[in-house]
Amino acid sequence: MEDLAVQALNGLASASSLFLVASGLTVIFGVSRIVNFAHGSLFMLGAYLAWTLTGLGPLAGLGGLWSFWGAILLAALAVGALGALLEVTVLRRIYGAPELFQLLATFALVLIVQDVALFLWGPDDKFGPRAPLLRGAVEILGLRFPRYELFLIAVGPVVLGLLWLLFHRTRFGILLRAATQDREMVAALGVDQRLLFTGVFFLGATLAGLGGALQLPREAVTLHMDMAVIVEAFVVVVVGGLGSLPGAFLAALLIGELHAFGILVFPRITLVLVFLVMAVVLVLRPYGLLGRAPSGAPPASEVAAPLPAAMPPALRRAALAALALLVALPPFLGDYPLILLADFATFVLFAASLHFIMGPGGLASFGHAAYFGAGAYGAALLFRHFAAPMELGLLAAPFAAGLAGLLFGWFCVRLSGVYSAMLTLAFAQIAWSVAFQWIEVTGGDNGILGLWPSEWARGRLAFFYLSLALCGAAVLLLRRAIHAPFGMALRAQRDSGLRAEAIGIDAFRIRWLGFAFAAAMAGLAGALFAYGKGSVFPSVLGISRSVDALLMVLLGGVQTLNGPIVGAIAYAGLQEQLARVTDYWRLLLGLVILALVLFFPRGLAGAIRRGGSP
Amino acid sequence: MTPALAAEGLVKAWGGLRAVDGVSFTLAPGEMLALIGPNGAGKSTCFNMLNGQIRPDAGRVRLAGRDVTGLPPRAIWRLGVGRTFQVTATFASMTVLDNVRMALLSHARRLLGLWRPAAREFTAEAEALLTRVGMADQAGRPCGVLAYGDLKRLELAMALANQPHLLLMDEPTAGMAPAERMALMAETAAVARAGGIAVLFTEHDMDVVFTHADRVLVLDGGRLIAGGAPEAVRADPRVRQVYLGGGPA
């Protein structure tokens, strides 16, 4: 019983932290319609800045109370100022851009902040001081409970109250609410939108920074905080309803308590539990607990161009020449380039499979790695538990991934836009959690080792040719499918669901099958990748791999046929080259992505097709 | 003879407002029936119930005697009902020909092919349909660049792809110039007569209605207040009162 009480209090404390981050995210989304991936990075910066300010700087000289609480507030405000700066310099330029490009830009910021933090604070974890006045513990029901946790529990409702006052009692807040409901109308009434948007980013970033800074006495500051917290914040915001503050509070409580009690009841599947709750909420209430269906103009989406009739002869010749080189050159290459080329082949297929549902299907997936991983684990599990050879593994992988696609897709394709993207993310995290926590079957973090190709394909050259042949065939199938009736039907339901239904097309079924087909193709890529590496780890279905695929497709251009190929090679090549020349490759990659988003919004392949003019 | 379409006591309320309040009528095979009424009379709600987009609170919809109440639009389409929309809905990223081809592929239940290019399917049939609506010369254009009147024609061609017995046309001439309206409705009437297709349409342009409709139904406040031959409806004092504002038509 006492245990339960303490767990409940723990849950409330984490709920407060979650709410701080999620409230900023949801406020920013409400007004700007931007899903800010970099919000977790702002949280992390808040923690790092607070660590520096409490230890160094003029505030530290004041000692005691001031040095801690002053540092926390200053860190939050500094992060707020940074958020405003980012809005003015980067985000302001992409408000009119398609949703996914905005996401790409904010993800570039994640990469940049990662390396800036690495450069400024180094790779070691930082441990903060304990909070003055709130050291030690109090007795509750005969159990000792840390004072600082109690303080955190109070912070959540206090911030919610302050935000309520801001939104209902100040002119700025009322304008923000108005803009959340109808941006165009607020603009039409002559309100200076620029100030409003910069203001909201300042507010949201301050909340993220405060959330991060307040973590200082609770946990170590690390370079992994950003991704961990952004995924949780996404869950909270989506469960609560995008743009709804009370919803975010409610959802933070739900998720916080779920974590706390989940550890008692189902210690092995806490992570699965959280994402499962999110999936259930989104299926029952597609716009979150307190969210409402978006009204007004739908978010800008890329104007879909008709399919290009045929490749221009010059491009066709270049593609054939490249293919010929890929077949003729490898015997003269060393091991390392062969490994790289085989990897590239799997990335191209992975990107092409995601492109299939994103471009023609019009459905953004933030969790495509789940299917890459389902293929890889499908093959690896057959090997581990049944000693299946590579041939069988490669054959089974697309089916394993396709089944996962059918199962998850049934939920994901009912929603659209940001909500469906978040649901795909949730399912990918569920898959990741299973791989990570179900140690008896998957080996957990230690992965499954010794997954080598069969004898005949073990040489680097032979394995490259195998990868090229299988990935090439699968990419060809995907391209044929785009021009075939199925691809056309997929495009039809994307262009106009109303018209598709009115001519007898079952849009849900087509989307669902398209999702599963793309998943199966990703599964083949995943299995090849696993055999190439000789092992499988949970990271094959981690969020960063999903983001890799997304970046490849977006870089290449969603509405181009060659986009995924060009994008995969450009992205993987860039990553590889940058990692070779500098430790700060994320920073450079982030800057390159940002430049691409700002200057080539139609992707690389789109730019090449139009003679390089942006 | 079994009517092509029968509405029996259709009711739909939004909150407290009864948008459609007990509407019953029948449509004979090959007949052109106009449904008119002031804005907010419940025409579109009525249409969307017939088409399956909205489930009625009460009442039944029968197609050639068969109860189709509550079936989704795609199932109703498969029973031979073509539909055009008040605001055109077409596949903007495809050519005119591919739009029609899509409807033909769906009619033939050949949507799942992964290998053979769609461009090799039903080209002649799609061109024939485009010829019927006078769009053959625009077959290769992307439909995102079409003039509004041409989009309406394209919708008609798509609606004809499943050899329908019934066309449901919600304001088929909305947004078009007067001369073009007459031309489009004349074409529609010719196509419908040639194929023995019944047509139910809503329309604001009285010239169009009285020139082309065999029969006119007048909806006001969710109820049918008059119906009959165009001349009779035109002369009906109640219609003049609520709809024509008392002045001469």
In a domain, A280, yes or no: no
Name the residue in chain B with its Cα closest to that of A305. B93
Same domain, B173 and B244: yes
E strands in A228-343: none
pLDDT of residue A610: 58
Give the residue from A215, A233, A251 where a domain finishes: A233
Mean pLDDT of the A228-252 span: 88
CB neighbour list of residue A227: distance below 8 Å, 6 or more residues apart: A40, A110, A543, A544
Establish if A444 belongs to a structural domain.
yes
Contacts of A506 in chain B (CB under 8 A): 74
The answer to whether B59 and B69 have CB atoms below 8 angstroms apart is yes
A473 and A344 fall within a common domain: yes
User: Does the distance separating the beta carbons of B117 and A306 come in below 8 Å?
Assistant: no
Global pTM value: 0.87
pLDDT in tens, A429-438: 889 888 988 8
Q: What confidence score (pLDDT) does residue A602 get?
A: 67
* Distance, first Cα to last Cα, chain A: 65
For residue B144, tell me if it sits in a domain: yes
A214 shares a domain with A320? no
pLDDT (average), residues A91-120 = 86
User: Does a structural domain hold residue B105?
Assistant: yes
Interface check for B163 against chain A (CB to CB < 8 A): the answer is: no
Enumerate the residues of chain B whose CB falls inside 8 A of the CB of residue A495.
Answer: 90-94
Give residue A32's pLDDT band: very low, low, confident or very high (50, 70, 90). confident
**Residue (of B66, B55, B49, B9) closest to B200 by Cα position:** B49
Residue at A461 is within a domain:
yes
Cα–Cα distance for residue pair A302/A260, rounded to 1 Å: 42
Does residue B5 sit in helix, strand or coil? strand
Q: Which of B78, B90, B144 sits opposite A499 (nearest CB)?
A: B90
Q: Look up tokens 């699965």; give the residue.
A: A272
Residue among A478, A486, A488, A560 with most chain B CBs within 10 A, to mutate: A488
Both B247 and B191 in a single domain? yes
User: Is A350 in the same domain as A212?
Assistant: no
Which one of B104, B123, B158 terminates a domain? B158
Cβ <8 Å between A503 and B51 = no
Task: Say if residue B146 is in the same domain as residue B223.
Answer: no
Check residue A148 and give its pLDDT.
86
Q: Does B103 touch chain A (CB under 8 A)?
A: yes
Residue B203: Cβ within 10 Å count: 24
* Shortest distance, CA A555 to any CA of chain B (angstroms): 21
**Alpha-carbon distance values, B174 to A497, B84, B169, B181 (Å):** 21, 11, 11, 8
B191 and B142 in a common domain: no
Q: Tell me the residues of chain B between 179 and 208 that have a Cβ less than 8 Å away from chain A.
A: none
Handedness of CA A226, A232, A233, A238 (dihedral sign): positive
The answer to whether residues B75 and B16 belong to one domain is yes
Asked if B74's CB is within 8 angstroms of A501's CB, the reply is yes
| Residue pairs spanning A and B at CB distance below 8 A | 112
Residues A170, A69 share a domain = yes
Cβ of B161 within 8 Å of Cβ of A489? The answer is no
The answer on A323 and A207 residing in a single domain is no
C-beta contacts of A319-326 below 8 A and 24+ residues apart: A319/A562, A323/A472, A326/A468
User: Residue A311 and residue A126: Cα distance in Å, rounded?
Assistant: 54
Report the pLDDT averaged over residues A110-120: 92
B114 touching A, CB under 8 A? Answer: yes
CA distance B205 to B216: 13
The whole-angstrom distance between residue B208's C-alpha and the CA centroid of its chain comes to: 15
Q: Do B118 and A481 touch (CB under 8 A)?
A: no
**A491 in contact with chain B, both atoms CB, cutoff 8 A:** yes
Distance of alpha carbon B30 from alpha carbon B4, whole angstroms: 8
What stretch of H or E contains B20? strand B17-27
Q: How far is B4 from chain A (nearest CA, A)?
A: 19
Q: Identify whether B19 is part of a domain.
A: yes
- Half-sphere exposure of A172 toward its Cβ, with a 13 Å CA cutoff? 15
Residue B79 and residue B60 in contact, taking contact as beta carbons nearer than 8 Å: no
ipTM: 0.91
Furthest C-alpha separation in chain B? 63
Kindly state whether residue A482 falls inside one of the protein's structural domains. yes
B114 chain-A contacts, CB cut-off 8 A: 477, 480-481, 484, 486, 517
Tell whether A492 lies on the interface with B, counting CB pairs under 8 A. Answer: yes
Flag whether pLDDT at A307 surpasses 70: no
Q: Are residues B171 and B247 in the same domain?
A: yes
Specify whether A29 is located in the same domain as A159: yes
CB contact residues (below 8 A), chain A span 304-343, against chain B: 304-307
The residue in chain A having the minimum alpha-carbon distance to the alpha carbon of residue B141 is A306
Residue by residue, DSSP assigns B232-246 as: HHHH-HHHHHHTSTT
Put simply, whether B9 touches A (Cβ < 8 Å) is no
Burial code of A490-499, b = ≥16 C-beta within 10 A, e = fewer?
A: bbbbbbbbbb
Q: Is the pLDDT at A64 greater than 80, yes or no?
A: no
At which of B143, B158, B173 does a domain end?
A: B158
Asked if residue B86 is part of any domain, the answer here is no
The answer to whether A588 contacts chain B (CB < 8 Å) is no
Q: Is position A545 within any domain?
A: yes
Tokens 């939104």 belong to A167
In this structure, are B52 and B73 located in the same domain?
yes
Residue among A306, A502, A510 whose CB faces B93 most closely:
A306
**How far does the CA of residue A476 sit from the closest CA of chain B (Å)?**
10
> Which pLDDT band, with edges at 50, 70 and 90, does A563 fall under?
confident
* CATH number of the domain bearing residue B245: 3.40.50.300
Whether B116 maps to a domain, the answer reads: yes
Say yes or no for a CB contact (<8 Å) between A502 and B90.
no
Based on the number of CB atoms within 10 Å of its own CB, is A508 exposed (0-12), middle (13-18) or buried (19 or more)? middle
Tell whether B142 and B175 lie within a shared domain.
no
| pLDDT attached to residue A613 | 37
In a domain, A21, yes or no: yes
Residues B11-38: pLDDT tens digits? 999 888 888 999 999 999 999 999 998 8
Name chain B contacts of A501, Cβ cutoff 8 Å: 72-74, 77
B72 CB neighbours in chain A (<8 A) are: 501
In a domain, A186, yes or no: yes
B95 with A306: Cβ contact below 8 A: yes
Mean pLDDT in residue range A186-206: 88
Q: Token match 């890459």: residue? A: A372
Contact A382, A393 (CB under 8 A): yes
Range of the domain at A134: 2-233
CA nearest neighbour of B100 among B143, B61, B36: B143
pLDDT at residue B111, rounded to an integer: 93
CB atoms B102 and A505 under 8 Å: yes
B74 and B180 co-located in one domain: yes
At residue A60, the pLDDT reads 62
d(CA A28, CA A40): 13
- B152 and B183 inside one domain: no
A19 with A160: CB under 8 angstroms? yes
- Same structural domain for residues A490 and A578? yes
Give yes or no for A503 touching B (CB within 8 A): yes
Range of the domain at B55: 1-80+164-249
Mean pLDDT of chain A: 86
The domain boundary residue, chosen from A171, A203, A233: A233
DSSP A398-422: HHHHHHHHHHHHHHHTTS-HHHHHH
> Do B12 and B34 belong to one domain?
yes
Distance from the A144 Cα atom to the nearest Cα atom in chain B, whole angstroms:
54
What is d(CA B44, CA A402) in angstroms, rounded to the nearest whole number?
Answer: 41
pLDDT above 90 covers a percentage of chain A that reads 40
User: How many whole angstroms separate alpha carbon A500 and alpha carbon A506?
Assistant: 7
Do A21 and A169 fall into the same domain?
yes
pLDDT for res A294 = 62
Nearest chain A residue (CA) to B158: A503
* B chain contacts of residue A513, beta-carbon cutoff 8 Å: 112
Rounded CA-CA distance A366/A559 in Å is: 18
Identify the pLDDT of residue A132.
73
Number of structural domains (chain B) is 2
Contact: A304, B73; criterion CB under 8 Å = no
Per CB-CB distance under 8 Å, the chain A contacts of B117 are 480, 483-484
Alpha-carbon distances of A273 from A445, B75, B76, rounded to whole Å: 19, 38, 41
Backbone φ and ψ of B32, nearest 5° = -110, 115
Flag residues of chain B having pLDDT under 70: 243-249
Q: Is B120 on the interface with A (CB under 8 A)?
A: no
Tell me the mean pLDDT in the region A115-126. Answer: 91
Total domain count for chain A?
2
Q: B221 and B243: one domain? A: yes
What is the pLDDT at residue A57? 62
**The last residue of a domain, from among A206, A233, A260:** A233
Which tens digits make up the pLDDT trace of B193-232?
Answer: 888 899 999 988 888 888 889 999 999 888 998 888 888 8
From CA A347, how far away is CA A548, in angstroms rounded?
A: 9
State the amino acid at position A538 in one-letter form.
P
User: Domain boundary residue among B109, B137, B158?
Assistant: B158
Task: Name the residue type at position A151.
Answer: F
Chain A residues with CB-CB distance to B102 below 8 A: 488-489, 492, 503, 505
Q: Which residues of A touch B93 (CB under 8 A)?
A: 304-307, 491, 494-495
Closest CA to A37 of A89, A112, A93: A112
A307 located within any domain: no
- Interface-testing mutation among A503, A517, A561, with chain B (most B C-beta atoms within 10 A): A503
- Residue B85 in any domain: the answer is no
